[in-house]
Each structure stands twice: as structure tokens, then as C-alpha cells.
Amino acid sequence: MKILFVSSEVYPLVKTGGLGDVAGALPAALRAMGVDARILMPAYPDAMGRATLTGRTLGLGDPLGVGETRLLEGTMPDTGCPLWLLDCPPMYERSGDPYMVYPGNDWPDNFKRFALLSKAAAMIGAAGDLMDWRPDVIHAHDWQTGLVPAYLKAWSVRRPPVLFTIHNLHYMGIFGQEILEIVGLPLDQFSINGLEYHGLVSMLKAGIQYSQAVSTVSPSYAREIQGPQEGRGLDGLLRQRGDSIHGILNGIDVDAWNPLTDPYLAAPIDPTNPEPGKAANKAALKRQMGLDGNGSTPLFGIVSRFVEQKGIDLVLGAIGRLLGEGAQLAVLGSGDRNLEYELNRAASHHPGRIGVHIGYDEHLSHLLQAGSDFLLVPSRFEPCGLTQLYALRYGTAPVVRRTGGLADSVRSVDEGPDGTGVVFDHAFIDAVEWAIGRAVSLYRDPDAMARVRRTAMAQDFSWKRSAEEYFGLYTDLMARD
Ligand code: ADP
């Protein structure tokens, strides 16, 4: 089975979020199962620097009229997975964030950059003599690759089926109608039954419309986006495609996140006897975050981007309750300037009780997961979410809203003896307050807390499980082809 992964980011070459994690880990997990999975991504300078290149190249000409384009052959640095970097310097020779000129401002030519990525994938997939490797399935990810099946549909060639995975429906890849001519797609695709979205082009919609199957990164999110609330105007189309929409929960890198061997931890955490390791990491985390008191204070942690989706404003609204319960808060993250300011302000008003670190810090994120008693994830929506999965693995009980992947991965302590966290329903401050109170009462019952920790640490979120589900999906698509 030959699968081509197309993604605008792949960890550890370039990553801005969960998409990068998936695009790095899933091909490797599939290769371990004997699948010939290969990756195509843009040759950003960071990617060129980190990949192992063989020196072999394959010219693609100038498919979009934006410059000579080549495939640079290589392998991933850690897993050895085969890789093609799509080289077109006028498009990709830009350092830093792959999408933005500076925070909050996308590159104005993103439609060309990602149309070129999509077109190159379609060229590899289309029958022809481009190379002696032709994928059985193209697995495309998010709006940046939504045009892959649009190109394949427009060309009258034998074409492999496309599986299009939505990691976040919020980002739709919206551009003006005029781009169609520039990227070389037929104007008849600009219709309600094509890639038109309220008078504009949506590359995400193209991916949903023209691919042979669609998946999302959790079963609950697959259902939610078929409703008006989370469907963002695409719910009608998604309902139409209902039979072809699949929800597969992401896995995590269980080697990078191993509580017994993680070098960023102050002490290992033994899943069969977590308490000593948890206590040592909690003490180290409190020291690093400037929190006072002894180890008996319940400690809530947050690791997050600060965007509306993540509900950080709800936590700010519930801080009075958190402190009133005698708890402490450690926050790591960055994003919305206003939220950064408000969190820093809360920390300066309550020194020793609230610790805030603004920025991206891989090391601290591991210690925070290991040292907290609870991880707060009050997302308004959450396609999958990874932080709650890391928390479970490190014996930290997630306190989550019942949405998307959070609902699929955390079992409420109020719904049976095998609960792994606290689950609340509404994105309101008083619901977060209730959840904080529930978590603290759990904490004050050491036997119940110990049971939750052990149950949490026994969960299996390895990529092997998810990769097997994708394997089944590819097999179905190939049988239909
Ligand atoms: P999203 O992709 O929506 O941001 P996920 O939970 O799927 O949310 O993935 C977030 C990833 O980014 C996790 O691996 C998390 O640990 C990491 N992360 C987020 N913020 C930070 C930060 N400030 N420092 C270190 N890692 C972070």
C-alpha cells in the first residue's frame, strides 16, 4: 500500500500545532505496519535545514507560473520516513512561521503557495511518467491541501482516491474568485456544488467537496461539524457527505511523552505508583513558576495557545473561585495580547498563587504536565486536542469541556468508577467554576484521586491504534477505486 501524505507542516521539520504532530507521527506509524508512506511538504528553510537530503531532485517545471519548481528527495531526521520537499524559492524561501509575515498577518500570496503544494501532489498522483512511484491514496490535510482533489477532478486522468482530513474547520482558506484563473482551475468549479463559499473560494470546501472520503481527528468532532453550531456554514455539505466522514482520534508520541524516561522531568513517574514522582515534579514546577506553599495545595495547569477557541477567558473569569478553593494555577502559553496581559496581571495580584509564563517552551510544557494535579482545557470547540492526552499519560487529571476530542478521551469521574477527569458541559464561567470545585473535592479524597491517576496512566493513546484505523480507511478507498 502506497500513501502520499501532503501537509503544510510536519514535525520536527516545521510545526505550529497539532497538524504538524499528526503529519510527522502518522506516516511513521504506518511504515511500522509495512505501509509505503511518503511525505510531501514545502521546502521552507527550516525544513531544508533539518531534513536529510539525498541530493537527488526531480524537476516539475513551472506548474503555476511562479518559478521553477523541483522535488528534493530526502528522509525525515528521526523516523527515516521518505520525504519530498517542494522547492520553489519565490514561494517557500521564507523563515519562521509557515503562514504569516508577522503574528496575525498571513502572507498575501498564500493561495499560490498552497495551490502549488496541492498541484504538485496531484501531479505525483496522476498517472504518467513523472516518477516510478504512484500513490494508491493521497492523504491531504487541512485547507492548504484542499485543492489536491480539485486539480485531480479537473484533469481527465486516472487518479488515486483522496482522503481529506480536517484538523480544524475554523481555518477555511478563503480567497477571492479571481484566484481560480491564477491557479489554473476551471471556473465551473466556482459553484455552490463546488468550492464556492458565500461568493468566495474556500480551499477547505474544495477538499471536502472533491475528495473521496473526509476524516476529522475525533469521532465527536466528526458529528459536531455536521450541525449548525460547529459546521460554520459547511454543515449542509458535511451532512450530505455524512457516510464518507470518519472520526479517528489522534495518537501521541509515546516516546517523547514517556513518564518513565522524559528528560525534562524532575523525577520519573511510575504508572503503578505515581505519587512519589508526581510529588517531586510538583515541587520542581512550583519552584520554577514561583508558587509557594507545600505539596498539599491542589495545582491546576494550562498549556495552550491563547485564542478564543481555547476558553482562556473563562478561566480568567473563574480565578476568584479557584483561589477561594485554596488552589493554585500555573499557565504556559501565548497568543492574544489581551489575554497575556490579563493573565500577567492576575499573577502580579496573587504572587505565589498564580504563575504565568508567556511563550513557547517545550521543556516547561513537559514539567507542567508532570507537576500539575489537574490540566484545565475549557475549549469552546476542540477537534482533538493533545494536551489532555499528555496529561492523562502523566497522571494529571484533565478538567475539560465535553466537546470534540476532549469528550472522546476523558471519562468523567461522575459517570462511573473508571473516570479519568472532570467533564463539564457549557462554555460558561460558572460551569468552569463548578468544574474547579469538583476537581478540588476529588483532590481532597486521596483514595479517589489515586484511582483516577492510575486509571489515567493506563490509557492507550499510541499512534498504533489510530494508524490501524487509517489503514482500514485506505483499504476501503482502494477497493472502491
Ligand atoms: P492546537 O493544535 O489547537 O494548538 P493541541 O492540543 O492539538 O492544540 O496541540 C497543541 C500542541 O502544542 C501540544 O503539543 C502542546 O503541548 C503544544 N503547546 C501549546 N502551547 C505551548 C507552549 N506555550 N509551549 C510549549 N508547547 C505548547
Three-class DSSP labels, the chain:
CEEEEECCCECCCECCCHHHHHHHHHHHHHHHCCCEEEEEEECCHHHHHHCEEEEEEEEEECCCCCCCEEEEEEECCCCCCEEEEEECHHHHCCCCCCCEEECCEECCCHHHHHHHHHHHHHHHHCCCCCCCCCCCEEEEECHHHCCHHHHHHHCCCCCCCEEEEECCCCCCCEECCCHHHHHCCCHHHCCCCCCEECCEEEHHHHHHHHCCEEEECCHHHHHHCCCHHHHCCCHHHHHHCHHHEEECCCCECCCCCCCCCCCCCCCCCECCECHHHHHHHHHHHHHHHCCCCCCCCCEEEEEEEECHHHCHHHHHHCHHHHHHCCCEEEEEEEECHHHHHHHHHHHHHCCCCEEEEECCCHHHHHHHHHHCCEEEECCCCCCCCCHHHHHHHCCCEEEEECCHHHHHHCCEHHHCCCCCEEEECCCCHHHHHHHHHHHHHHHCCHHHHHHHHHHHHCCCCEHHHHHHHHHHHHHHHHHHC
pLDDT digits (tens, 9 = 90+) for 464-478: 999 999 999 999 999
User: Model confidence at 297, in pLDDT bands (50, 70, 90)?
Assistant: very high
Q: Is the shortest distance between the CB of 341 and ligand 1 below 6 Å? A: no
How confident is the model at residue 104, as a pLDDT?
80
What's the CA gap between 153 and 460, in Å, rounded?
Answer: 39
Which atom of ligand 1 has the smallest separation from the CA of 309?
3
**Average pLDDT, integer, range 34-62:** 97
Grid coordinates in use for 367? 514539567
Q: Report pLDDT for 157.
A: 79
Give the pLDDT of residue 290: 97
Residue bearing the CA closest to ligand 1, atom 26 = 362
25 CB near ligand 1 (under 6 Å) = no
Residue 358 CB–ligand 1 contact under 6 Å? no
The reported pLDDT for the residue numbered 457 is 98
pLDDT at position 353 is 98
What is the percent of the chain where pLDDT is above 70? 99
- Cβ atoms of 242 and 228 within 8 Å: the answer is no
Q: What is the pTM of this model?
A: 0.93
Q: What pLDDT sits at residue 167?
A: 97
Compute the distance between CA of residue 356 and CA of residue 90 in angstroms, rounded to an integer: 40
| 99 C-alpha to ligand 1 centroid (Å) | 17
State mean pLDDT over 74-86. 96
For the segment 290-306, the average pLDDT, to the nearest whole number, is 94
For ligand 1, the distance from its centroid to the CA atom of residue 17, given in whole angstroms, is 6
Q: How far is the CA of 304 from the centre of ligand 1 (A)?
A: 5
Average pLDDT over residues 346-353: 98
Instruction: Check if the beta carbon of residue 424 is closer than 8 Å to that of residue 411.
Output: no
What are 166-175's pLDDT values in tens digits?
A: 999 999 999 9
Class of 2-251+464-479 per CATH? alpha beta
State which of 9, 285, 289, 304 you would mutate to test the pocket of ligand 1, scoring each by most atoms of that ligand within 8 A of its C-beta: 304
pLDDT above 90 (res 426): yes
**Distance from residue 387's CA to the centre of ligand 1 (Å):** 7
Q: Rounded mean pLDDT of 405-421?
A: 97
The whole-number average pLDDT for the span 424-448 is 98
pLDDT at 102: 86
Contact between 459 and 437 under an 8 Å Cβ cutoff? The reply is no
The pLDDT assigned to 370 comes to 98
Per CATH, the number for 275-460 is 3.40.50.2000
Pick from 8, 141, 303, 367 the residue to mutate for probing ligand 1's pocket: most ligand atoms within 8 Å of its CB.
303
pLDDT(480) > 90: no
Read off the pLDDT band of 129 (50, 70, 90).
low
Quote the longest CA-to-CA distance of the chain: 69
Q: Mean pLDDT across the stretch 388-415?
A: 98
Retrieve residue 405's grid coordinates: 476530542
Residue whose CA is at the smallest distance from ligand 1 atom 20: 304
pLDDT over 90 for what percent of the chain? 93
What integer is the mean pLDDT of 371-383?
Answer: 98
Question: What residue owns the CA closest to ligand 1's atom 24?
Answer: 360
Asked whether residue 81 carries a pLDDT value surpassing 90, the answer given is yes
Cβ atoms of 39 and 120 closer than 8 Å: no
Closest atom of ligand 1 to 19 CA is 2
The answer to whether the CB of 360 is under 6 A from ligand 1 is yes
Best of 302, 307, 360 for a ligand 1 pocket test (most atoms within 8 Å of beta carbon): 360
Q: What is the mean pLDDT of the chain?
A: 96
pLDDT of residue 46: 96
Domains 2-251+464-479 and 275-460 share a fold: yes
Cα(361) to centroid of ligand 1, in Å?
10
Which atom of ligand 1 is least distant from the CA of 250? 7
Question: Where exactly are the structural domains of the chain?
Answer: 2-251+464-479, 275-460
Tell me the CA–centroid distance for residue 134 and ligand 1, in Å.
34
Return the best residue to mutate from 15, 165, 305 for the ligand 1 pocket (most ligand atoms within 8 A of CB). Answer: 305
Over residues 321-344, mean pLDDT: 97
Atom of ligand 1 nearest to the CA of 332: 23
> 388 in ligand 1 pocket by Cβ < 6 Å?
no
Q: Rounded mean pLDDT of 442-451? A: 97
